[in-house]
Structure 1
Amino acid sequence: MKQAQLEQLLGQMTRKEKIEQLQQVTGDFFSEEQTEATGPLSGNNLTSEDLIDVGSALSLSGAKAAKKAQKEYLEKNRLGIPLLLMADIVHGYRTIFPIPLGLAASWNPELVEKTASVAAEESSVSGIHITFSPMVDLVRDPRWGRVLESTGEDPYLNKVYAKSMVEGYQGKKENALQQYGSIAACVKHFAAYGAPEGGREYNTVNMSERELRENYLPSYKAAVDAGSKLVMTSFNTVDGIPASVNKYLNRKILREEWAFDGVLISDWAAMKEAIHHGVAATEKEVAKLSIEAGVDIEMMTFCYHNELEKLIESGEVSESLLDEAVLRILTLKNELGLFENPDRFTDETLEADKVFSKEFQDIAQIAAEEAIVLLENKESVLPISENENVLFVGSHVDSSNILGTWSWKGDPTETKSVADILQSDYQNANTRILPIASAFDVTQEELETALKLAEKADKVVILTGETPDMSGEASSRSDIRLPKAQRDLIEKMTKVNAKTIAVLFNGRPLDVTGVSQQVQGLVEAWFPGTSGAKAILNILYGNKVPQGKLTMSFPRNVGQVPVYYNHFNTGRPIDENDLENKYVSKYLDVENTPLYPFGYGLSYTKFDYRGFKLVKSSDNQLKAQVTVKNTGKVAGNETVQWYVRDKVGEVVRPLKELKGFDRIFLEKGEEKVVTHEFSVEELGYVHSDLSQRYDQGEFVLMVGSNSAEVLEQNFTI
């Protein structure tokens, strides 16, 4: 349908029909059982007649159900405008990949793009048109539960992954949404949702506009620049104004500065929460503020439905604001091809063939293997040899509930546990399996059995961590250690067997300082998804060499939080030659540095960096080289990380900032010259007048295996 036809269609719509296009409800509103007196319609001032024109629904899927709902909807809709179906496809549809924080640890944008593409194909054949993903919120506080959905603490890396995920969902070709297997992306949460005070969910966000623009907005813009068709507002305030009614944020920055012409949707009930925030007293005020701020779709509250027509009739709101919102929604439906084919790619045969296919499960296994981060490997306790007598023990040994939250269609009953894989794939290995029933309580009988078996074992593997409901939305924690029962188990086990390895299942950086001191091996597995158990055992037994690198720092204790690598120097930095000086910026009881820094991750081999030099420096371009050699005993992948420091800026600059990375593979004994080029423009930052530019002067270029271990070269622009 051409633009003129869409505008003509808009002209045929009644005001009521237009307003209902702005309403989003859940899929159960379309169930056969519910009526105005019962079910979701009751209590919402919404009738079955209103549903004829509602523009979108969320969490309705399955090819058969989606086709049925669309057919019945179109039979009643006067103008034949199709229904949009949306859902939270965050790290997979039914084939579940590692949580996004884990995917980010792969430092493999192409792989992350592939996982989004698989998720898009599975969900599109199952009836979904739009995913509420990617979440690109920058996060520096692991107490916040939704760090699970983020890609970490670095603005540069978040931008890279934002682009990868959008292109994975939507495709890269012209008219990509017309291509099989694509769905529209909705980047969230706009803006700065990842910076709540105290790490507490839905809490206040307070920062300068310069900080907002420098560190938090770039990832959203990268998603918009990659073509994301939707943006979702966040729950929090931005400069004292809730995001969903924030005209400066949504119209000035998003619409005018970034030229975003797609659909802006509220998060669940976020519009009406302006009343709780205290910037609106009534639904009428919410509706007025939200439409003026440019919110096109209201999710699961009914302020537009209840109040917008009266606001237009009274002249308090211009009907042109309603028309532009509806036209954006109609344009999105047209870009998805729904007017010509309301079922789009929804297909029960393809659904049966593609969803949870072996091909996609194999990709999930690769993703899980690349996401795993080796944190400790004292005395080369890993990898395990199959002839070693190994005890596998812990609350996660026989648990298949390892998908993590936002795995909506993921099914733990069809997910294999570590015990399952040991019994099917490691029958020749000398293993004992001892599940612990609860993550929060180890019985005396379980403990005594575990200790007896541990004494006789060559090595012990304790599979431990958070339960899935301990991370994710509404799962903020002030104590980010392992549950006490698990800490006590680890302490007791390491006393009877020093060769103990802990494998962590979790959705956030944890305080594992005590654990790291007690165990010889420490493996970060995250919530690894559908094929995670097999991936973990491949790493433990050396069938795969670990290569993951953290994208968020692990604190030494929660009192350090937020602790992140790209921090300022302060006016009184620690002097390494005068550590006894009290009057500097430090703690009395813990180091300033994290336990495990951004970019950190061990391998079963060693990589030596030498010969770092600048080979070209001009007004517009920098070119640097470093030689990396695999000095270990096995082949492996390494992520070469490039950082920059602006030594004197117009405003204070971080001690280092990631500016690029290169993934390389080296055979045992092989060395490679890694060359990286930078544009001088990449050295720019947001100045005090909010302009983006770089300073002339002295800089430091750094390269290394992680943010804490780098070689340095000075250069001048």
Structure 2
Amino acid sequence: MTLINRQNTGPLTGSLLALGVMLALSACGDSQQVSSAKDAAEAPQKAANSLAIWPELVPAIGKDPQLEAKIEALLAPMTLGQKVAQMIQPEIRDITVEDMRKYGFGSYLNGGGAYPNNDKHATPANWVALAEAFYQASVDDSLDGSTIPTMWGTDAVHGHNNVIGATLFPHNIGLGAANNPKLIEKIAAITAKEVMVTGIDWVFAPTVAVVRDDRWGRTYEGYSEDPQIVKAYAYAIVEGLQGAVKGDFLSDQHVISTVKHFLGDGGTEKGVDQGDNLASEQDLYDIHAQGYVGGLNAGAQSVMASFNSWHGVKNHGNPYLLTEVLKGKLGFDGFVVGDWNGHGQVAGCTNESCAQAVNAGLDIFMVPTAAWKPLYENTLAQVENGEISQARIDDAVRRILRVKLRAGLFDKPSPANRPLSADTQLIGHPSHRDIARQAVRESLVLLKNNQSLLPLNPNIKVLVAGDAADNIGKQSGGWTITWQGTDNQNSDFPGASSIYAGIEQRLAQGGGEAILSPRGEFSPEQKPDVAIVVFGEEPYAEGNGDIDNLEYQRGDKRDLALLKKLKAQGIPVVSVFISGRPMWVNPEINQSDAFVAAWLPGSEGQGIADVLFRENDGSLAHDFVGKLSFSWPATPQQTQVNLPLAQHKGTSADYQPLFPYGYGLTYRSGLTDGKALAPLPEDNMATSQALEDLALFERAVKSPWSMYIASKGDWQTLSSSVAENSALKIRTMDRQVQEDARLVQFNGTELGTVGLVSNFPRDFRAYSDADSALSLSIKVDSALNQPLWLGMACEGDCRAQYDISKQVTVGEWNNVSVALNCFVQESMDFGKMVSPFYLATDAKVQLSFSDVLIQANHQAHTIQCN
């Protein structure tokens, strides 16, 4: 599911940054953010529940008395320890084969960027060997007394994307533009085969989020803003992965699927990953639940709980959604698996202890890192003391056993002896790549084609420019070999083709010439007939992709400069835009004669050349068929532009995108109005963007931030009201209301730090571009003769700080406001903020602070810097 990313994310030497402290950045979410009862009290009121909204689905698989009898026969002799072990899912980097033999875990996973033997280039045989070793240990009853087979789960979200040489399909946003459920079913079936080659039983797909705000870093994991496309696709991909319920269901050609993330992950406020969805319950069903209706009707056997909250209640701990709705009204009889330590975010829980999640209906804890062992032990204790009922444990284990029996895991050969295992020719098989290439062709959306520049003849001279032209990793996006899709090179993709390689091959066949120059350089004798410029977003996954508006390359218009340079030389320009979401690219479109939204096409870049060029005889090879499944924004601030549900065949007065849902030109239709696309407005409306103060710590720590303390040898997020390390002690205190401030005692022996941190970088550029400030209320109890640093830190080795020791009066509360321009330095990236506030000192002093916020319109007393 995810990557444990060991980053330098802290602010100061001797504290978080210098320690290079491990922050758990999730493949399906983070693991360190701890909610408290106080946080829950500050959350919006829970929505009134109305079960009548939800349909009673007829289960796709009826109850089988013989199978149920087998479940009971397996369950009856199991010890409590064996049952709880079925509910624990650790990660391959955190357990050994001996751990599996001792505990008999019901399942395990590999996170994004996790490989057998920690080898990125592990072969299919290496994957199978690890699967075989864990399987044999699970059925060995010499230590745990259990012979129940384990199962391995993996994130294969656009093909078997963790494995070198696998076929990588376009990400979901591109597949949504194709609007072809039959193609999706083929893609899923191919993915299942390539997964089974490596001995793996279970896939954490499909994602069925219906995205409402394109600032969300997971937008590309959504098929469409239209719930009906998502519903149809969910059915198709589940059937492709698992097989048809009345056909080859969970045969030796298929894997267990997971419909995720339940529920409402695509509708969080401001598109913040793992944030709060405030939709009404009717909208929760009408918009966000349709993918589950489709997936469950196809017989999906597992559902993954979501990191997000619904009206302030974390879904991992929401019994109404998990039990009453999903298992009750929707009739789901498979199991609910958690996301990457998602249970640790439930109010009152930690990664190591969460009875609330089990009681809410979670059946399997996804618990990477060393937290699995205390979680196992704490869950045992919670059953023994009655905090979790034996009946709830038995229900969870029945569900796990039901799926394992349906999948034939008790009867199938071990992983090394299954029909597809280690059949390496299936990894990236040419027939698989052909389907992926078709998916690329069908996903492309033509937004502009002035003077009918496209399609191009293949006998011309073409300059291929842009940093994505010959970069398979960039065209594939996140969830590609590594979790974030970064740190890859073309040699990591054997058998794949870059976009440039496809163009070069097409021109070679047609008598033309391709000149590769990422920076658009050429000699006078090489002046091209046309330039194809391939550019777009850098790869990202999950919250790392969250942004605060949709302007492309805000503050750094290097790709626009390239387009302008080529246009100034009189060269017709075709832009191929790589992105995980629709973005505001009006200036780039204006500098292009033709503009293609290519999304994240994956490993088969040749598919783009298939559509851009004619056949050698001048006939049309492939036309554009893709249509926007996401409305395209007219301004950077138009982040929630979605076609109204009731009006998919019309428009409404407040629906005014640049390009509407369903838009897409074709060669055959041409310019239907006979006119070229007129120049688009280029005002990014930055000065008119209404900014409000952003509370970071106001009565309580605000999501998505967590409070931490650090010293030279220690870093920890806070999960209780009192904590300490070698440099300081901290506790909650009452200033105006209960626990609305923090009291910190620095002992003066070394540098100590207290601050706020997020497991994902956050975009603060709107504030840094405006007249904003970092503000807090602070009181010191004695004179300061050494610096008291107020600072901020961004992703990577970047931080800036300002000494406020002279700004505070001893013994009284002071309001200190420091302009963000005081924190500007060469390495500071306000688009990737991980710690928007910290205090640090090596002085011996007691201080208190409260009300930390970013002031959008700071006052005259704000400290300014040149």
Q: What is the TM-score of this pair, normalised by structure 1?
A: 0.74
Give per-residue Cα distances to partners, 1:467-507, cap 9 Å, x unaligned. Answer: 223x5453112243333211221122222235211001111
Structure 2 unaligned spans of 5+: 1-65, 111-115, 117-123, 161-165, 486-491, 615-620, 675-866
| 2:596 maps to amino acid | V
- Relative to structure 1, the CA distance from residue 386 to residue 317 in structure 2 (aligned partners, 3 Å threshold; closer, same or farther) is closer
In the other structure, the counterpart of 2:17 is none
- Relative to structure 1, the CA distance from residue 261 to residue 115 in structure 2 (aligned partners, 3 Å threshold; closer, same or farther) is same
Give per-residue Cα distances to partners, 1:345-399, cap 9 Å, x unaligned. Answer: 7456652132211111111111111111111111100011122222111111221
In the other structure, the counterpart of 2:225 is 153
Find the aligned partners of 2:247 and 2:184 in 1 and give their Cα distance. 22
Q: How does 1:348-367 map to 2 (within 5 A)?
A: 351-367=423-439
Find the aligned partners of 1:318 and 1:72 in 2 and give their Cα distance. 29
Q: How does 1:250-269 map to 2 (within 5 A)?
A: 250-269=322-341
In the other structure, the counterpart of 1:502 is 575
Find the aligned partners of 1:355 and 1:574 in 2 and give their Cα distance. 47
Contact 1:393/1:463 (8 A) holds in 2: yes
- Relative to structure 1, the CA distance from residue 453 to residue 598 in structure 2 (aligned partners, 3 Å threshold; closer, same or farther) is farther
Give per-residue Cα distances to partners, 1:551-585, cap 9 Å, x unaligned. Answer: 1011022211111122789xxx998xxxxxxxxx6
In the other structure, the counterpart of 2:705 is none
Find the aligned partners of 2:505 and 2:571 in 1 and give their Cα distance. 28
Give per-residue Cα distances to partners, 1:115-168, cap 9 Å, x unaligned. Answer: 001001111232111111111010021111111111110111111111111111
| 2:551 maps to amino acid | R
In the other structure, the counterpart of 2:107 is 56
Identify which of 487, 492, 507 aligns with 1:426.
Answer: 507
Contact 2:89/2:109 (8 A) holds in 1: yes
- Relative to structure 1, the CA distance from residue 415 to residue 608 in structure 2 (aligned partners, 3 Å threshold; closer, same or farther) is closer
**Are 1:396 and 2:478 matched, yes or no?**
no
- Relative to structure 1, the CA distance from residue 175 to residue 263 in structure 2 (aligned partners, 3 Å threshold; closer, same or farther) is farther
| 2:226 maps to amino acid | D
Q: CA deviation at 1:267?
A: 0.7
**Are 1:370 and 2:442 matched, yes or no?**
yes
Find the aligned partners of 1:336 and 1:282 in 2 and give their Cα distance. 32
Find the aligned partners of 2:237 and 2:131 in 1 and give their Cα distance. 25
Contact 1:138/1:195 (8 A) holds in 2: yes
- Relative to structure 1, the CA distance from residue 348 to residue 217 in structure 2 (aligned partners, 3 Å threshold; closer, same or farther) is closer
Identify which of 91, 114, 117 aligns with 1:26.
Answer: 91
Find the aligned partners of 1:464 and 1:90 in 2 and give their Cα distance. 23
Identify which of 393, 400, 408 aligns with 1:329.
Answer: 400
Find the aligned partners of 1:523 and 1:466 in 2 and give their Cα distance. 14
**Are 1:237 and 2:300 matched, yes or no?**
no
Find the aligned partners of 1:293 and 1:197 in 2 and give their Cα distance. 24
| 1:52 maps to amino acid | Y
> Secondary structure at 1:426's aligned position in 2?
helix
Find the aligned partners of 1:190 and 1:51 in 2 and give their Cα distance. 32
Give per-residue Cα distances to partners, 1:152-196, cap 9 Å, x unaligned. Answer: 101111111111111111111437444231111110010000112
| 1:108 maps to amino acid | N
In the other structure, the counterpart of 1:164 is 236
**Are 1:68 and 2:133 matched, yes or no?**
yes
Find the aligned partners of 2:499 and 2:246 in 1 and give their Cα distance. 43
Give per-residue Cα distances to partners, 1:390-428, cap 9 Å, x unaligned. Answer: 211111122122222223489435422133234444324
> Secondary structure at 2:381's aligned position in 1?
helix
- Relative to structure 1, the CA distance from residue 346 to residue 405 in structure 2 (aligned partners, 3 Å threshold; closer, same or farther) is farther
Q: How does 1:638-717 map to 2 (within 5 A)?
A: none
> Secondary structure at 2:534's aligned position in 1?
strand
Q: How does 1:577-616 map to 2 (within 5 A)?
A: 593-606=656-669
Give per-residue Cα distances to partners, 1:234-270, cap 9 Å, x unaligned. Answer: 0011122100110111111101111111100111111
| 2:254 maps to amino acid | S
> Secondary structure at 2:265's aligned position in 1?
coil
Contact 1:148/1:472 (8 A) holds in 2: no
| 2:155 maps to amino acid | D
Q: How many residues align?
A: 560
Q: CA deviation at 1:536?
A: 0.6
> Secondary structure at 2:184's aligned position in 1?
helix
> Secondary structure at 2:596's aligned position in 1?
strand
In the other structure, the counterpart of 1:435 is 517
**Are 1:280 and 2:359 matched, yes or no?**
no
> Secondary structure at 2:140's aligned position in 1?
helix
> Secondary structure at 2:267's aligned position in 1?
coil
Contact 2:87/2:364 (8 A) holds in 1: yes
Identify which of 265, 283, 296 aligns with 2:363.
Answer: 296
Contact 1:88/1:408 (8 A) holds in 2: no
Find the aligned partners of 2:320 and 2:137 in 1 and give their Cα distance. 40
Find the aligned partners of 2:524 and 2:634 in 1 and give their Cα distance. 32
In the other structure, the counterpart of 1:552 is 630
- Relative to structure 1, the CA distance from residue 232 to residue 388 in structure 2 (aligned partners, 3 Å threshold; closer, same or farther) is same
Structure 1 unaligned spans of 5+: 36-47, 437-445, 576-584, 586-591, 610-630, 632-717
Quote the sequence identity (%).
30
| 2:626 maps to amino acid | G
- Relative to structure 1, the CA distance from residue 193 to residue 126 in structure 2 (aligned partners, 3 Å threshold; closer, same or farther) is same
- Relative to structure 1, the CA distance from residue 568 to residue 182 in structure 2 (aligned partners, 3 Å threshold; closer, same or farther) is closer
| 1:164 maps to amino acid | A
Give per-residue Cα distances to partners, 1:214-246, cap 9 Å, x unaligned. Answer: 211122222112211000000011122100110
Find the aligned partners of 1:498 and 1:210 in 2 and give their Cα distance. 53
Contact 1:159/1:223 (8 A) holds in 2: yes
In the other structure, the counterpart of 2:251 is 179
- Relative to structure 1, the CA distance from residue 602 to residue 270 in structure 2 (aligned partners, 3 Å threshold; closer, same or farther) is same
Between 478-487 and 512-521, report the one with greater CA deviation: 478-487
**Are 1:538 and 2:610 matched, yes or no?**
yes
| 1:65 maps to amino acid | L
In the other structure, the counterpart of 2:548 is 478
| 1:555 maps to amino acid | P
Find the aligned partners of 2:361 and 2:94 in 1 and give their Cα distance. 26
**Are 1:247 and 2:319 matched, yes or no?**
yes
Contact 1:451/1:496 (8 A) holds in 2: no
| 1:5 maps to amino acid | K
- Relative to structure 1, the CA distance from residue 125 to residue 515 in structure 2 (aligned partners, 3 Å threshold; closer, same or farther) is same
In the other structure, the counterpart of 1:682 is none
Give per-residue Cα distances to partners, 1:441-477, cap 9 Å, x unaligned. Answer: xxxxx46x359688x32211111111223x5453112
In the other structure, the counterpart of 1:79 is 146
Contact 1:140/1:552 (8 A) holds in 2: no
Q: CA deviation at 1:49?
A: 7.1
Identify which of 578, 582, 586 aligns with 1:513.
Answer: 586
- Relative to structure 1, the CA distance from residue 451 to residue 255 in structure 2 (aligned partners, 3 Å threshold; closer, same or farther) is farther
Contact 1:97/1:528 (8 A) holds in 2: yes
Find the aligned partners of 1:10 and 1:74 in 2 and give their Cα distance. 16
Find the aligned partners of 2:402 and 2:502 in 1 and give their Cα distance. 48
Find the aligned partners of 1:179 and 1:127 in 2 and give their Cα distance. 14
In the other structure, the counterpart of 2:387 is 316
- Relative to structure 1, the CA distance from residue 283 to residue 426 in structure 2 (aligned partners, 3 Å threshold; closer, same or farther) is closer
Give per-residue Cα distances to partners, 1:648-691, cap 9 Å, x unaligned. Answer: xxxxxxxxxxxxxxxxxxxxxxxxxxxxxxxxxxxxxxxxxxxx
Give per-residue Cα distances to partners, 1:70-109, cap 9 Å, x unaligned. Answer: 1233224522100111001111112111001101111110
